[in-house]
Chain A
């Protein structure tokens, strides 16, 4: 089945130690999103790619970076994780257009020690 895959499902890192979360998709969607979600709150958009065009949200900390080497893969890099960065990180994809559905991966739960 076509899907959005996130690895790993659980990630433990130490305070200040860089970490990378990965997302891949088999839907061939041109838009990919990264969200941060804490305690079943609303997902908070960090940034998104439209093809290779990167769009950063104004309130996304500089500590968060992203790479999209090709259509299928997208990475979230957290350069120096703090305790406040512990959260669920959700990757989503969609086609570009009005009314298009976002498809979410299962998420990566990040724990910062």
Chain B
């Protein structure tokens, strides 16, 4: 079945450091890819998404490019802030038995220090 693998956390960075969180996927079809962010005690919020190969999703300085050849969707940000501290989930959406299911990675906790 479909699956998402993302790098283990926690990731601890100093403010203004460069961030990369790796995400790879396996899918039988042609999935759409997402990054969601979860702040403490809250639900998940969409950060960015991409629906076809070579698409780049971007939002709030975060970027990720849909790489079909390497089945990857790595999240990057050039300069992190303390307010970026959260848990980040990579996810895919693919049609299964006539319905779209969303499969999440295990999450990567990011802690940014001032």
Contact = CB atoms under 8 A, between A and B. Distances in A.
B107 A100 contact: no
Given A31-B100, A104-B45, A99 B32 contact: yes
Contact of B100 (A6, A41, A90, A98): A98
A22 to B, nearest CB: 15
Nearest to B4: A42
B72 interface: no
A74 B100 CA distance: 18
Contacts of B87: 40
B111 interface: no
B73 interface: no
A43 B44 contact: yes
B61 interface: no
B70 interface: no
Nearest to B40: A40
A96 interface: yes
Contacts of B34: 101-102
Contacts of A100: 32, 93, 100
B43 A105 contact: yes
Contacts of B106: 41-42
Interface in A85-113: 90, 92, 94, 96-107, 109
Nearest to A90: B43
Contacts of B45: 104
Interface in B67-114: 87, 89, 93, 95, 99-102, 104-107, 109
B46 interface: yes
B32 A43 contact: no
Interface string B17-47: 0000000000000001010101001111110
Given A40-B38, A90-B43, A103-B46, 6 more contacts: A31-B100, A42-B104, A42-B106, A97-B100, A98-B51, A102-B46
The 3 tightest CB contacts between A and B, nearest first, are: A104-B43, A99-B51, A99-B32
